[in-house]
Amino acid sequence: MPYKDPEKAKEYHKKWRQANREKINLHNKKWRQENPEKMRLICKKYREENAEKLKLKNKKYREENVEKERLRNKKYREENVEKERLRCKKYRKENSEKIKLYEKNRKEKEPEKYHKSRMITLWKRQRGVIDNDYEILYYIYMSTEFCWQCGVILTTGKVRTSTTKCLDHCHITGLFRAILCHCCNAKQPRQPKQIKNNININEII
């Protein structure tokens, strides 16, 4: 022991670690590779003992690196589509009551935001609508009062009628075509075809 004084010993070890950083890193890396199970248990124990500390650290990092985290999550989902689908399915099954309560509270607190989220999710996942900007598409849908084809006044509600507002899209390409009443939408072909209308989309936006 070079120093009996604890402070001097601490300073000595600090300087030694700084001077031999590369050597220490290689040694630690080799040890981790040779002892994966022991390393796993050490990490697990640390996470359990410092759960709150790690939670705050991760939260702070996410707040400071929002865009970086968004891109990282997006990349992971793209590379693990099937894995994510199964994970979400399992979570929804195990937490059905929790999800229902969350949706109910959200619907009561933010009805407009809730409706927008539900509609965009419906178009993307169930209907297969493809668009560059779903925000603008939703705005067009909500601000349209007349059918683009026959001009009838559009209605909304749980009960579907001939004048119910519909977002028409090509069933092959998935591209948006027009906002129609249910009657006109039912008559549209499934193959790509541009619907003739006198509506100027730029005026709506």
The CA-based angle 131-180-139, given to 5 degrees, is 45
Q: What is the mean pLDDT of the chain?
A: 86
Q: Quote the percentage of the chain above a pLDDT of 70.
A: 91
User: How confident is residue 3, by pLDDT bands cut at 50, 70 and 90?
Assistant: low
pLDDT tens figures, 8-50: 888 888 889 899 999 999 999 999 999 999 999 999 999 999 9
* Range in 145-149, 156-160, 164-168 with the lowest mean pLDDT: 156-160
User: What is the reported pLDDT for 34?
Assistant: 93
Distance of CA 67 to the CA centre of its chain: 13
Contact 176, 160 (CB under 8 A): no
User: How confident is residue 132, by pLDDT bands cut at 50, 70 and 90?
Assistant: confident
66 backbone dihedrals φ, ψ, rounded to 5°: -60, -50
195 vs 54, residue with greater confidence? 54
Contact 176, 137 (CB under 8 A): yes
pLDDT tens figures, 51-103: 999 999 999 999 999 999 999 998 998 999 999 999 999 999 999 999 999 88
User: What is the reported pLDDT for 203?
Assistant: 47
User: How confident is residue 190, by pLDDT bands cut at 50, 70 and 90?
Assistant: low
pLDDT at 167 over 50: yes
Q: Tell me the three state secondary structure of residue 181.
A: strand
User: What is the reported pLDDT for 197?
Assistant: 44
The 8-class DSSP code of residue 132 comes to S
